[in-house]
Structure 1
């Protein structure tokens, strides 16, 4: 694996190489600073000032070239506009076609400029992150605060590409007018806008969206899966069909995702009644629900490792284990055994193949449809979450066949066992194992790294400035280079080989994002898992009422993502939405407490809705930021960023479900407040942590 500096150089446009950020030189300078401070010939203040001056010079070089190229493009467009005006008076089909092709040429040159800006933005983020890692000083925080919002900011030109949007608009508008609609007076500004049937326009729009992190519903929804794209963009449109991709296999992966989420939540409305039927307390439902998550902590690791060798075999194993687990869950009633009930749920957790489902999309789905596949993964999860409780509400029957009891408590197990049996047959017949030979011959893709790396920062201002001499040899990011070479030691670029090595790659910014993910999953699990006990105690709700409430919560996922993805994310920065969502989650938790006044249905429903919806918004933004601040070494291999986020969320669910059961010993009257208190504390902690790393999320 080559170093980032070499990859950066490979992606540069040859005739513009002198105008890119000099990443290699700046890395060498950082090493020199480290050595000078270590031997005592340089002080901390001088290093910070000198590095700031160097960055300012690099950014100025980039910006002045960018402005020069914008001017040249604008001049060319102006001349083409004169030709277009002349053609309106004397139309000539051949000249119109020639003019359209000339506009496309200008568009392709603009694309080169957009890629130029994007690669420099990535280089700047990487060098800021490297400086912070090496010296343990929050330099990025200082630099962004002082440069980003200054009236003469050149940083905004690189990160926000001020001015290029006008050139994109000019090309798009004129190409639109030159389509085969002469005389219809259509425009890109018309509402609703008509589609512009030109691939150059689509490519320009995609490049601008990557630069600004502009998003839409599909994009925002896909972020929830943490299935990421390649770190550095290619300066050409490379749509190479992946030979490993098989549509029906993708559908089977999404079906597995859907069924697993149905399996997770189908027991929530009846778990307390099932526990009571077996002679346990109603709050033991926390352990019953959480047993699946406990096993998933371990299954995520071995399924992630197994998917390095195969996708078909782990899916077959998962399906069989889930079938057995659901049969055990259903039989526990007639066996009158809480142990069998818990064992059944543990088996279901051991069959969690979400790591395989995510990995298949990341590794085998072509880049051009990976976003849609990722959105499908999240949609399948959301629909499963809504369908699970709804299905439980429909299974209100009570009958016996021989010695087997079928009622609202056992039917979820039997129904899911049948569903997994049908899925197993479908999987066996239609799934196509991707070719490992193709994979071995391809250049490894960093399929889990976003186009723009974040500014992962070390926490706090530490003295002495240099952390240790050992860090001068190898950066935790794995993109350092040997002295005089663009290439780093081979091991410094390899994927993490254990959870311990993956943890060492976590910077404070990544840890904060994982804390936020833990918090939102904890709060959501408390709300969902104790809903049956709380609503029965305070309002006397039936199983059907609880099922309807939980299904309605699940059905908010897609509409909320439509609004946030299409509108809110394009009006505010991700970090602003992140902080605002955390505060709203905190408000939802506070409104849920039962203090003095009688607890009412409107208070419970409204507070639950606020908490759930804001947590859903928070999840998408949180994972988007996590992908940008995460080390590229966590983008691949078994112990990747997706696995870490899954583990954080799963542990949160385990802790939440355990809290419910433990709090149950204090009595149902205290259950609500006792379980909400940890949620409130973790939420406030995450808000404080976000404020401490806020400027690193630029």
Structure 2
């Protein structure tokens, strides 16, 4: 791991050396201020004002130089535009290639300027975090509040580049125009479907998106997977080449993802009826559904460790566990045993190979395809979440073969049992173990922030951009360069849950609390839906299945809207706070305030809660990836695992709450189970407001 000070020395443009942030000086001044405050020479308020002026000077120098360079690039593009006009008038095809090369030269200089802005923006973020670490979490809050929101903000010039984006637009339009038409001079807007991309345009756009956090649907969706995306890696450096990439193995990983999500949600509409048929209360459905999540707490860890050595063997083990788990679930009816049913669900949870699925995409899919594969992972999760309840709705039949009963309660188990058996045979015959298992690959690409992190839709679906290694190690590092020569231990990943917890800042803790809250609220909504709707509205199993399927189908459209538009109009922290408020409104409107509880009230409140929880999950994981220490982006006990455990724990507690509340009577079930998420949601909003300006 290269700390920021070393990266600044290596990556800076020599002729621009005097215009970068003087990070070494800032650290030295910070150290002096620490000593002065400890010795009583200066109070913290005085230090805050003085350090602010020093940082102001640094930012002003960066911004003025940036404006100069923008002007030069704009002038060059204007001159090239005049040449392009002359070529049009003369219809001189021979000069088109030369002109295109000139535009590309501007493109390379533009990328150089974008990297200049990026490294300085990273330096500003890091020095703010370093100050907070030394003096308490006050300086970033003060500095961002007073500088970023001022009408003459120079800080915004570093982080929100309107001027540079305008230059990017002019360059892209002209370069695409010349490349595609080769002198035909037909407007590119006439044939958008066949417009070709120049590699320099792709590099420019990537640099702009990294700098401004601009995103699109594919990136927003891919971020939900928390799969590492190497920002600074060139094609030649990609550890996975096209020859070693095996498409069928990727498909098997995605099918595993899909089937597991189907397996998770296929029992939700009928779990209460199954519990009653075995002599238990309907609210025991909470324990039935939650037992799978209990086992996932452990499986996420051992599957992640196992994937260091193999992908094939853990996938085989996963399929076998899920086969037997569903078999026991189906046989529990004829054995009249709730214990057998719960053991079956525990085995299903122990077969959760989502850590392997993520790890395979990160390690074994070429860089140029990783974004699509990550989005495919999340799409498979979303589709499985919708298909599970929908499939349960179709299984409303009853028959008997010998002494085995097949009905709406047991058929989900039998169907999934057959599905996993077919999958196991397909896996055995066609999966190809990657050839590049080596220590270097494991060390480089297992910054496993998402390898086990965030368990998917249930634990990771709502979330915008892939975690970039460069962003993790530069923007989010708080411990990398505490001294000029940091010890090796300061770069090591956390080795236990306890050591990982010690690395959590208030900002990270707030994001984990938010993740816990949204998972709790979603699990309460989904798991008790069958009991609540049956009691109040007399809904059939098919009606419940349709309702849950509709909720699941909102995932991709909502993420398309948020990823393509909302995240480009507002800051992540603004979307985060607004989504929390909407989830709170959804929870409040879900309460039964009068004896008559109507279907419109329940459906509308459920949609508000579920949809905005999806939005919240996306921006929550995006911010989590930026505020956590780089030491939490690697190793087994990483930020992804912490978020997974937080989400899984929330689901377990929520399902246990449903069963416990059932003892008070079904009439009180709804209001009693909504009280904890209401309180936690209010607490998460307070935590967000407390850390709001550190989420910059």
How would you bin the TM-score normalised by the shorter chain? over 0.9
Q: Secondary structure at the match of 2:284?
A: helix
Matched residues in 2 for 1:361 and 1:498: separation? 25
User: CA 1:45/1:624 → structure 2, altered by over 3 Å: closer, same or farther?
Assistant: same
Q: Secondary structure at the match of 2:663?
A: helix
Asked whether the equivalents of residues 308 and 442 of structure 2 are also in contact (C-alpha less than 8 Å), the reply is no
User: CA 1:549/1:365 → structure 2, altered by over 3 Å: closer, same or farther?
Assistant: same
User: CA 1:362/1:437 → structure 2, altered by over 3 Å: closer, same or farther?
Assistant: closer
Q: Secondary structure at the match of 1:552?
A: helix
Q: 2:618 matched to 1:639?
A: no
Matched residues in 2 for 1:688 and 1:434: separation? 47
Matched residues in 1 for 2:541 and 2:407: separation? 12
Q: How does 1:322-337 map to 2 (within 5 A)?
A: 322-337=322-337
Matched residues in 2 for 1:374 and 1:597: separation? 47
2:680 counterpart residue number: 682
Matched residues in 1 for 2:442 and 2:520: separation? 40
Asked whether the equivalents of residues 454 and 697 of structure 1 are also in contact (C-alpha less than 8 Å), the reply is no
1:299 counterpart residue number: 299
Q: Secondary structure at the match of 1:400?
A: strand
Matched residues in 1 for 2:13 and 2:207: separation? 16
Asked whether the equivalents of residues 399 and 407 of structure 2 are also in contact (C-alpha less than 8 Å), the reply is yes
Paired positions, count: 674
Moved more, 613-622 or 20-29: 20-29
TM-score (norm 2): 0.92
1:558 counterpart residue number: 556
Matched residues in 1 for 2:360 and 2:681: separation? 33
Q: How does 1:458-537 map to 2 (within 5 A)?
A: 477-480=478-481, 482-483=483-484, 485=485, 488-537=486-535
1:70 counterpart residue number: 70
User: CA 1:455/1:369 → structure 2, altered by over 3 Å: closer, same or farther?
Assistant: closer
Asked whether the equivalents of residues 132 and 140 of structure 1 are also in contact (C-alpha less than 8 Å), the reply is yes
1:149 counterpart residue number: 149
Matched residues in 1 for 2:123 and 2:136: separation? 19
Q: CA deviation at 1:300?
A: 1.2
Asked whether the equivalents of residues 125 and 454 of structure 1 are also in contact (C-alpha less than 8 Å), the reply is no
Tell me the alpha carbon deviations over residues 567-596 of structure 1, each in whole angstroms, 9 at most, x when there is no partner: 111121111111111111111111111111
1:464 counterpart residue number: none
List runs of 5+ in structure 1 lacking aligned partners: 458-475
Q: How does 1:397-416 map to 2 (within 5 A)?
A: 397-416=397-416
1:692 counterpart residue number: 690
Moved more, 133-142 or 282-291: 133-142
Q: Secondary structure at the match of 2:400?
A: strand
Matched residues in 2 for 1:480 and 1:585: separation? 39
Moved more, 283-292 or 85-94: 85-94
Q: CA deviation at 1:452?
A: 4.0
2:454 counterpart residue number: none
Moved more, 203-212 or 12-21: 12-21
Q: CA deviation at 1:193?
A: 8.1
Q: CA deviation at 1:203?
A: 1.8
Tell me the alpha carbon deviations over residues 256-287 of structure 1, each in whole angstroms, 9 at most, x when there is no partner: 11111111111001100110011000000000
List runs of 5+ in structure 2 lacking aligned partners: 450-466
Q: 2:279 matched to 1:266?
A: no
2:311 counterpart residue number: 311
Matched residues in 2 for 1:215 and 1:371: separation? 12
TM-score (norm 1): 0.92
User: CA 1:579/1:444 → structure 2, altered by over 3 Å: closer, same or farther?
Assistant: same
Q: How does 1:274-289 map to 2 (within 5 A)?
A: 274-289=274-289
2:79 counterpart residue number: 79
Alpha-carbon RMSD across the aligned residues, in angstroms, is 2.2
Asked whether the equivalents of residues 593 and 672 of structure 1 are also in contact (C-alpha less than 8 Å), the reply is yes
User: CA 1:237/1:432 → structure 2, altered by over 3 Å: closer, same or farther?
Assistant: closer
Q: Secondary structure at the match of 1:598?
A: coil
Asked whether the equivalents of residues 388 and 549 of structure 2 are also in contact (C-alpha less than 8 Å), the reply is yes
1:5 counterpart residue number: 5
Tell me the alpha carbon deviations over residues 462-509 of structure 1, each in whole angstroms, 9 at most, x when there is no partner: xxxxxxxxxxxxxx83302544x4xx2111111111111111111111
2:422 counterpart residue number: 422
1:321 counterpart residue number: 321
Matched residues in 1 for 2:442 and 2:689: separation? 42
Matched residues in 2 for 1:187 and 1:149: separation? 38
Q: Secondary structure at the match of 1:444?
A: helix
Matched residues in 1 for 2:263 and 2:370: separation? 26
Matched residues in 2 for 1:301 and 1:359: separation? 12
Q: Secondary structure at the match of 1:178?
A: helix
Q: CA deviation at 1:196?
A: 4.6
Matched residues in 1 for 2:226 and 2:304: separation? 14
Matched residues in 2 for 1:194 and 1:578: separation? 38
1:186 counterpart residue number: 187
Tell me the alpha carbon deviations over residues 520-577 of structure 1, each in whole angstroms, 9 at most, x when there is no partner: 1111111110011011111111111111111111011111111111111112111111
Matched residues in 2 for 1:313 and 1:288: separation? 28
1:380 counterpart residue number: 380
Moved more, 59-68 or 490-499: 59-68
2:45 counterpart residue number: 45
Q: CA deviation at 1:638?
A: 0.8
Q: 2:30 matched to 1:30?
A: yes
1:17 counterpart residue number: 17
User: CA 1:258/1:18 → structure 2, altered by over 3 Å: closer, same or farther?
Assistant: same
Matched residues in 2 for 1:569 and 1:152: separation? 24
From 667, 670, 681, give the equivalent of 1:669. Answer: 667
Q: CA deviation at 1:364?
A: 2.9
Q: CA deviation at 1:600?
A: 1.4
User: CA 1:283/1:400 → structure 2, altered by over 3 Å: closer, same or farther?
Assistant: same
Asked whether the equivalents of residues 455 and 696 of structure 1 are also in contact (C-alpha less than 8 Å), the reply is no
Q: CA deviation at 1:319?
A: 1.4
Q: How does 1:643-658 map to 2 (within 5 A)?
A: 643-658=641-656
Q: Secondary structure at the match of 2:162?
A: coil
Matched residues in 1 for 2:362 and 2:655: separation? 31
2:220 counterpart residue number: 220
2:456 counterpart residue number: none
Asked whether the equivalents of residues 219 and 565 of structure 1 are also in contact (C-alpha less than 8 Å), the reply is yes
User: CA 1:314/1:35 → structure 2, altered by over 3 Å: closer, same or farther?
Assistant: farther
Tell me the alpha carbon deviations over residues 413-460 of structure 1, each in whole angstroms, 9 at most, x when there is no partner: 111111111111222222222335545268725574535469999xxx
Matched residues in 1 for 2:254 and 2:217: separation? 19
Q: CA deviation at 1:241?
A: 5.7
Q: CA deviation at 1:412?
A: 0.8
Matched residues in 2 for 1:633 and 1:376: separation? 28
Q: Secondary structure at the match of 1:637?
A: coil
1:89 counterpart residue number: 89
Asked whether the equivalents of residues 455 and 629 of structure 1 are also in contact (C-alpha less than 8 Å), the reply is no
